[in-house]
Amino acid sequence: MVYNLAKNIMRKLFGFLVIASFILTLSSCVATGMHTNTSNHAQSVAAPFDQNNFVVVKRVEGEQSCEKFLGIGGLSDSYLKESAISNMYRNANLTGSQMIVDIHVVKSRLFVLGPIYMRSIQKATGTVIEFTGPKEDIHIQNVKITE
């Protein structure tokens, strides 16, 4: 008798979990609230760009994301940003006199059913340029790198 009672409770619990999972799956496709919070963070480099001694090679990007379930888990925004930038540099495969300029980081978040599930994504993009050689003699005191 106790065995039958426990068996019925387990069946009801399993049925409830299956129905709840099904409803959550269906509602996540329909009721997904996509909220994006974008912000651009630019890092500037002041170098002798006025001499037209460089060429634009390509655009590069890097991405880092994390997930939170019921507010548990995930990584800090600063870690995600630095990881996205690091991934961008890794994807760039810089050689010789190449560097990345015009770096932007965009942060977005995806909420599913409010705070139940949240995915944070940070994407860094930049432009790879390559210096072809100075037209004039450039002394080191004329080059400034600012952040």
d(CA 17, CA 11) in angstroms, rounded, equals 10
The residue among 7 and 101 whose pLDDT is bigger is 101
pLDDT band of 8, cuts 50, 70, 90: confident
Q: Pull the structure tokens for residue 96.
A: 């010789």
d(CA 80, CA 104) in angstroms, rounded, equals 14
pLDDT confidence of residue 147: 53
CB atoms within 10 A of CB 85: 21
Q: In what order do the strands lie in the sheet with 54-69?
A: 32-35, 98-112, 117-131, 54-69
Q: Is the pLDDT of residue 21 over 90?
A: no
Section 24-52 average pLDDT:
47
The residue among 11 and 79 whose pLDDT is bigger is 79
pLDDT confidence of residue 57: 92
Instruction: Give ∠ CA 131-133-136 in degrees, rounded to 5.
Output: 130
Section 129-146 average pLDDT:
65
Strand 98-112 to 32-35 pairing? antiparallel
pLDDT confidence of residue 43: 46
Residues 6 or more apart whose CB falls under 8 angstroms from that of 81 comprise: 41, 64, 105, 107, 122, 124
pLDDT confidence of residue 40: 44
